[in-house]
């Protein structure tokens, strides 16, 4: 429940001001300007409490967006609203800048009236908003004679059904020559490993992004190898074709979040993911898992101090996936002490370079096959310093991209049903892609 929304420039001048509830006064505008924008010390927290009023802010270039509330609101909901508001504005007029906001302030107020009702966010879907809010406005097009009365009536009826109907994220009458579905399973694997190779913490954050180019109002059914879904259907064993890269048949998903198009009632009762997809690209699902993660790489560091003016570093990178697969955009970042004067690097694969500005050796490898091993050796020369404090070794970090899901996530089936139009599931061309990327992938040395 949001009391008000204010948009400021870098000087603290108010560009947009909308108060949704009576408990927020004009003094709240000045309080945020004085205590956050013009604060002597840098404000690090995105949430600021001033005189029993909570200010939630995000910053884009030189523009501040601040949501205000005097009640104990859900902070994650408020930030989700702010980020959605940023996305909506960017989709309408591109970059968020002071000039663009001043030129489109009427449009922004119109959007706020549609998006928020009495402090409660209602509809933030850009596709739906664009059907009945345009930059020139629906009324102005009609007055210019660009639309006939019959066309405007048809458009109005479409808008009404889209706003008030059950399927607000998809309009009727969509037609494509070729019906296609593109499904991307995007995973970010995070790891913290000890120098001895013990996993201290690991989790995978995944997203399923779908591009839908389907005619009519199709219903899709989506099957994954989640343990709960598999056990509910009585499938404790699966054939070899459905096994994942790591050999697991099912994964344990800790938590998940669905797009509004997914029928949650069916998911809870039948444990099936059923939905009518929006047209175009959308995020179908987010999930997180912490068990049985297939770590794509293992980093083995060996650091040896030779006196006070020399240090020897040896780093071995091992790939732990199928030999038929290739990892790309591999980058290993090895930190060096602040008093480093020179570095000599030897590596058999890829290119390594010492970057003094970043106090690190950056080792880049274009491609690595599965079950391979790469090695880097470096001699680091150090300057004499009066500082007796021992160098605290930061962890070695790694970036990469692999063509599989480290969690073992697998799409079991994706079916499309359309009763009104003459096409079946076999007529739909489907594409599924798995991409695993590094999140915070670190090994202590």
| 127-141: average pLDDT | 58
Q: Using CB atoms within 10 Å of the CB of residue 224, give its burial: 0 to 12 exposed, 13 to 18 middle, 19+ buried.
A: buried
Structure tokens at 27: 């003094």
- Conformational region of residue 313, where left means phi above 0, alpha means psi within -120 to 50, and beta covers everything else: beta
Backbone angles phi, psi at 241, to 5 degrees: -65, -25
| 104-111: average pLDDT | 89
pLDDT bin (cut points 50, 70, 90) of residue 388 is: confident
Q: How far is CA 130 from the centre of its chain?
A: 23
Strand partners of residue 8: 14, 64
Q: Give the pLDDT of residue 135.
A: 62
Does 72 score more than 60 pLDDT?
yes
Closest CA to 410 of 211, 229, 199: 229
Backbone angles phi, psi at 37, to 5 degrees: -70, -45
| 56-68: average pLDDT | 92
Cα separation, 121 vs 301, in Å, equals: 50
Of 41-45, 263-267, 357-361, least confident by mean pLDDT is: 41-45
| 122-135: average pLDDT | 78
Q: In whole angstroms, how far apart are CA 346 and each of 268, 354, 432?
A: 56, 11, 40
Does 377 score more than 50 pLDDT?
yes
pLDDT bin (cut points 50, 70, 90) of residue 313 is: very high
Cα separation, 384 vs 71, in Å, equals: 57
Long-range (24+ apart) CB contacts under 8 A made by 38-41 are: 38/12
Percent of the chain residues past pLDDT 90, beyond the cut: 54
Average pLDDT of the chain to the nearest whole number: 85
Cα separation, 439 vs 116, in Å, equals: 34
| 118-139: average pLDDT | 72
Cα separation, 58 vs 48, in Å, equals: 12
pLDDT bin (cut points 50, 70, 90) of residue 228 is: low
Q: Residue 142: CB partners within 8 Å, gap ≥ 6?
A: 152
Does 402 score more than 80 pLDDT?
yes
Does 183 score more than 70 pLDDT?
yes
Strand, coil or helix: 113:
helix
Q: Give the pLDDT of residue 444.
A: 94
Does 147 score more than 50 pLDDT?
no
Query: What is the tens place of the pLDDT at every residue in 160-170?
Result: 445 545 577 88
Q: Give the pLDDT of residue 163.
A: 54
Name which residue leads in pLDDT, 423 or 399: 399
Q: Give the pLDDT of residue 28.
A: 86
Cα separation, 278 vs 211, in Å, equals: 9
Does 243 score more than 80 pLDDT?
no
Q: In whole angstroms, how far apart are CA 96 and each of 91, 125, 220, 292?
A: 10, 18, 36, 42
Closest CA to 62 of 91, 96, 32: 96
Does 158 score more than 60 pLDDT?
no
Beginning with the edge strand found earlier in the chain, give each strand of the sheet holding 360-369 in spatial order: 255-258, 280-289, 199-213, 180-193, 429-443, 396-402, 326-335, 360-369, 351-355
Cα separation, 394 vs 444, in Å, equals: 7
Beta strands in 9-160 (DSSP E): 14-19, 47-50, 53-60, 63-69, 116-117, 120-121
Backbone angles phi, psi at 283, to 5 degrees: -95, 110
Query: What is the tens place of the pLDDT at every residue in 11-46?
Result: 899 999 999 988 888 788 888 988 888 887 777 789
pLDDT bin (cut points 50, 70, 90) of residue 231 is: low
Strand, coil or helix: 220:
strand
Q: Judge whether 330 and 322 are in contact, CB under 8 Å.
A: no
pLDDT bin (cut points 50, 70, 90) of residue 130 is: confident
Strand, coil or helix: 89:
helix
Cα separation, 200 vs 216, in Å, equals: 50
Of 93-107, 165-179, 293-307, 402-416, least confident by mean pLDDT is: 165-179
Instruction: Please name the helix (run of DSSP H) or strand (run of DSSP E) that holds residue 84, with its range, or none.
Output: helix 75-93
DSSP string for 150-184: HHHHHHHHHHHHHHHSS-TTS-S----SS-EEEEE
């Amino acid at each position: 429940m949001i009391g008000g929304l204010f948009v400021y420039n870098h000087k603290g001048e108010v560009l947009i001001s909308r108060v949704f509830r009576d408990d927020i006064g004009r003094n709240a505008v000045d309080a945020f300007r004085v205590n956050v924008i013009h604060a002597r010390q840098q404000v690090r927290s995105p949430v600021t409490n001033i005189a029993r009023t909570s200010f939630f802010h995000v910053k884009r270039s030189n523009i501040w967006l601040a949501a205000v509330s005097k009640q104990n609101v859900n902070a994650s909901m408020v930030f989700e609203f702010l980020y959605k508001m940023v996305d909506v504005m960017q989709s309408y007029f591109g970059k968020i800048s002071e000039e663009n906001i001043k030129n489109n302030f009427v449009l922004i107020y119109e959007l706020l009236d549609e998006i928020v009702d009495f402090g409660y966010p209602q509809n933030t879907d850009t596709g739906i908003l664009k059907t009945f809010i345009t930059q020139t406005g629906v009324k102005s097009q009609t007055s210019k004679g660009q639309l006939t009365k019959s066309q405007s009536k048809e458009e109005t009826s479409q808008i009404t059904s889209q706003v008030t109907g059950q399927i607000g994220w998809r309009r009727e009458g969509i037609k494509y020559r070729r019906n296609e579905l593109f499904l991307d399973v995007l995973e970010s694997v995070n790891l913290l490993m000890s120098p001895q190779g013990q996993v201290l913490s690991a989790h995978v954050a995944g997203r399923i992004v779908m591009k839908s180019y389907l005619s009519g109002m199709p219903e899709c059914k989506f099957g994954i190898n989640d343990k709960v879904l598999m056990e509910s259907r009585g499938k404790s064993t699966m054939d070899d074709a459905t096994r994942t890269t790591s050999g697991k048949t099912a994964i344990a998903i800790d938590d998940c979040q669905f797009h509004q198009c997914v029928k949650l009632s069916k998911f809870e009762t039948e444990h099936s993911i059923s939905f009518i997809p929006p047209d175009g690209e959308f995020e179908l699902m987010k999930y997180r898992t912490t068990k049985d993660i297939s770590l794509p790489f293992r980093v083995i560091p060996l650091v040896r101090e030779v006196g006070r003016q020399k240090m020897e570093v040896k780093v071995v990178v091992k790939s732990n996936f199928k030999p038929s697969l290739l990892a790309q955009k591999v980058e290993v970042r090895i930190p060096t002490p602040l008093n480093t004067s020179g570095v000599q690097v030897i590596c058999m694969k890829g290119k390594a370079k010492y970057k003094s500005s970043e106090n690190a050796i950056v080792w880049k490898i274009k491609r690595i096959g599965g079950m391979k091993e790469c090695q880097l050796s470096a001699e680091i020369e150090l300057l004499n310093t009066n500082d007796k404090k021992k160098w605290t070794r930061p962890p070695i970090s790694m970036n990469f991209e692999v063509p599989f899901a480290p969690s073992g996530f697998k799409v079991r089936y994706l079916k499309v049903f359309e009763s009104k139009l003459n096409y079946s599931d076999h007529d739909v061309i489907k594409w599924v892609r798995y991409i695993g990327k590094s999140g915070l992938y670190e090994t202590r040395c």
